């Protein structure tokens, strides 16, 4: 392992640049780390998330693979079991399903099945979610599938700072991590991000805005419209916004302690409602804090329809007005 200088400097980065910065940092720090996927090498990734890494680290560490999602994840599992730390990119979450079997039947179970003899320190990165006027199958948000599987961690950051720190944590994690990047906000804003290799712990939520009237839980790309809704309601309703950042394992303590302060809750996600994570959060609140509850938990989610082509996607995705409506419903109950 090479020593990486601690500079104390920061750069003003977009979220996708923070992804690249984290990959760069870890490739430099640990020679077992490698990046693989479709178009991640010479091309630098279709979203530029791996730009320049091929030139700097070479074709054996930033690998252009054949176009085969199950092959990418399946071979990455073999590499991870054999001591490397692959970071596999799936170009869009809507194309992850050919690899689903490898992720849930093997990456998630390898440690259990071998009683700890083999581990699978694998990161599968995928841009997820709608809002970029993309073709069919390019807008999915199906974190529930992976959250349902024991053995997997699922991370969904919402800021450049968290993205870098969480991706570094994911790469260093001894177990498989599904790292879902909100592509709608890849370039929406910038934030000062330290050059150093800092980490943000997996499994910890953060409170984006303190409030006393209602707890609104969100993650990834939904954090921005949720914050906008909270701002719009300023003076009317005092909203607390809790950004989960990791959806598996969820930060139960943060979820519960916020709710016990406010007594009301809404959950915002762009995934379809049925069996979505809003249901899981509602169940946690029921189990842990029933006596604090003053209103039904509002689920402000995508609809139970296939993600529509983009002419209608803005109706599908929860935007600030819909989130405000849901918050009012819970508060006025």
Partner 1 sequence: MSLLQRDPGNRVQILDEEGHVLQGASVPEIDDDTLVGIYRKMRLARHFDERAVSLQRQGRMGTYPPLSGQEAAQVASGYALDEDDWVFPSYREHGVGLVRGLSIKQTLLYWMGDERGNALDPDLHFFTVAVPIGTQIPHATGAAWASKLKGEDRAFIVYFGDGATSEGDFHEGLNFAGVFDVPAVYFCNNNQWAISVPREHQTASETLAQKADAYGFDGIQVDGMDPLAVYGVTREAIKKAKNPGPNDRRPTLIEAVQYRFGAHTTADDPSIYRSEDEVEEWKRRDPIPRLETFLRERGLLDDERIDAIADEVREHVADAIEAAESEIRPAPESMFEHVTGTPDWRREEQEAYLRRLREQYGDDTLLED
The verdict on 119 binding partner 1 (CB under 8 A) reads yes
In whole angstroms, what is the distance from residue 26 CA to residue 34 CA? 9
- Give the residue, chosen from 27, 40, 62, 77, that forms a contact with partner 1 under the rule CB under 8 A: 77
Footprint on residues 179-198 left by partner 1 (CB under 8 A)? none
What's the closest the beta carbon of residue 66 comes to partner 1, in angstroms? Answer: 6
Q: Which is nearer to partner 1, 53 or 229 (CB)?
A: 53
- Give the residue, chosen from 194, 203, 263, 279, that forms a contact with partner 1 under the rule CB under 8 A: 203
Q: Where are the alpha helices (DSSP H) in the chain?
A: 15-29, 53-57, 69-81, 100-101, 110-113, 143-147, 160-172, 223-232, 252-262, 277-289, 313-316, 320-332
Q: Which is nearer to partner 1, 88 or 185 (CB)?
A: 88
Report angle CA 5, 86, 200 to the nearest 5 degrees: 50
Check if the beta carbon of residue 242 is closer than 8 Å to that of residue 216: yes
| # residues near partner 1 by CB under 8 A | 43
Check if the beta carbon of residue 225 is closer than 8 Å to that of residue 52: no
Return the range that interacts with partner 1 (CB under 8 A); candidates 12-20, 112-120, 229-237, 291-299.
112-120
The verdict on 68 binding partner 1 (CB under 8 A) reads yes
In whole angstroms, what is the distance from residue 69 CA to residue 37 CA? 8
Select which of 25, 106, 138, 269 is catalytic: 138
What does the block give as tokens for 18?
A: 């923070």
The verdict on 82 binding partner 1 (CB under 8 A) reads yes
Nearest to 222 by CA among 191, 256, 182, 262: 182
Q: Residue 232 contacts by C-beta under 8 Å, 6 or more apart in sequence?
A: 320, 324
In whole angstroms, what is the distance from residue 40 CA to residue 331 CA? 47
Q: Which is nearer to partner 1, 119 or 232 (CB)?
A: 119
In whole angstroms, what is the distance from residue 275 CA to residue 273 CA? 6
The verdict on 147 binding partner 1 (CB under 8 A) reads no
Footprint on residues 22-41 left by partner 1 (CB under 8 A)? 34
Other C-beta atoms closer than 10 Å to the C-beta of 299 total 20
Return the range that interacts with partner 1 (CB under 8 A); candidates 8-16, 41-49, 111-119, 163-171.
111-119
Q: Residue 151 contacts by C-beta under 8 Å, 6 or more apart in sequence?
A: 107, 108, 109, 111, 112, 175, 176
Footprint on residues 215-274 left by partner 1 (CB under 8 A)? 249, 252
What's the closest the beta carbon of residue 202 comes to partner 1, in angstroms? Answer: 9
The verdict on 115 binding partner 1 (CB under 8 A) reads yes
Check if the beta carbon of residue 186 is closer than 8 Å to that of residue 15: yes
The verdict on 153 binding partner 1 (CB under 8 A) reads yes
What's the closest the beta carbon of residue 35 comes to partner 1, in angstroms? Answer: 13
Give yes or no: 138 in active site. yes
Return the range that interacts with partner 1 (CB under 8 A); candidates 22-30, 102-110, 131-139, 159-167.
102-110
The verdict on 172 binding partner 1 (CB under 8 A) reads no
Sign of CA dihedral 51, 205, 249, 323: negative
The verdict on 74 binding partner 1 (CB under 8 A) reads yes
- For partner 1, the binding residues (CB under 8 A) are 34, 60, 65-66, 68, 70-71, 73-84, 98, 101-102, 105-106, 110-119, 150-151, 153, 173-175, 203, 249, 252
Indicate which residues carry an active-site annotation: 138
């Amino acid at each position: 392992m090479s020593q990486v200088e601690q500079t104390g400097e920061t750069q003003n980065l977009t979220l996708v640049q923070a992804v690249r910065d984290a990959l760069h940092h870890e490739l430099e720090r640990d020679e077992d780390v490698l990046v693989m996927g479709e178009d991640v090498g010479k091309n630098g990734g279709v979203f530029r998330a791996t730009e320049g890494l091929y030139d700097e680290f070479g074709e054996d560490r930033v690998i252009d693979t054949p176009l085969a999602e199950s092959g990418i994840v399946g071979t990455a599992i073999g590499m991870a079991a054999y001591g490397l730390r692959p970071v596999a990119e799936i170009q869009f979450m809507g194309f992850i399903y050919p690899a689903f079997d490898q992720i849930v039947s093997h990456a998630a179970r390898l440690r259990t099945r071998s009683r700890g003899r083999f581990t699978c320190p694998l990161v599968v990165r995928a841009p997820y979610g709608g809002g970029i006027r993309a073709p069919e199958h390019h807008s999915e948000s199906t974190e529930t599938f992976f959250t349902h599987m024991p053995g997997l961690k699922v991370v969904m950051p919402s800021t450049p700072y968290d993205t870098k720190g969480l991706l570094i944590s994911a790469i260093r994690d001894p177990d498989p991590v599904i790292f879902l990047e909100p592509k709608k906000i890849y370039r929406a804003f910038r934030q000062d991000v330290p050059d150093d290799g800092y980490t943000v712990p997996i499994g910890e939520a953060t409170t984006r805005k303190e409030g006393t009237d209602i707890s609104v839980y969100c993650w990834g790309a939904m954090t921005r419209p949720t914050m906008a809704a909270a701002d719009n309601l300023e003076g009317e309703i005092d909203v607390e916004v809790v950004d989960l950042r990791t959806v598996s394992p969820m930060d139960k303590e943060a979820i519960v302690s916020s709710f016990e302060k406010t007594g009301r809750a809404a959950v915002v996600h762009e995934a379809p409602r049925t069996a979505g994570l809003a249901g899981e959060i509602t169940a946690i609140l029921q189990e842990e804090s029933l006596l604090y509850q003053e209103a039904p938990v509002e689920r402000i989610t995508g609809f139970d329809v296939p993600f529509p082509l983009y002419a209608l996607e803005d109706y599908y995705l929860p935007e600030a007005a819909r989130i405000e409506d849901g918050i009012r419903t819970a508060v006025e109950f």
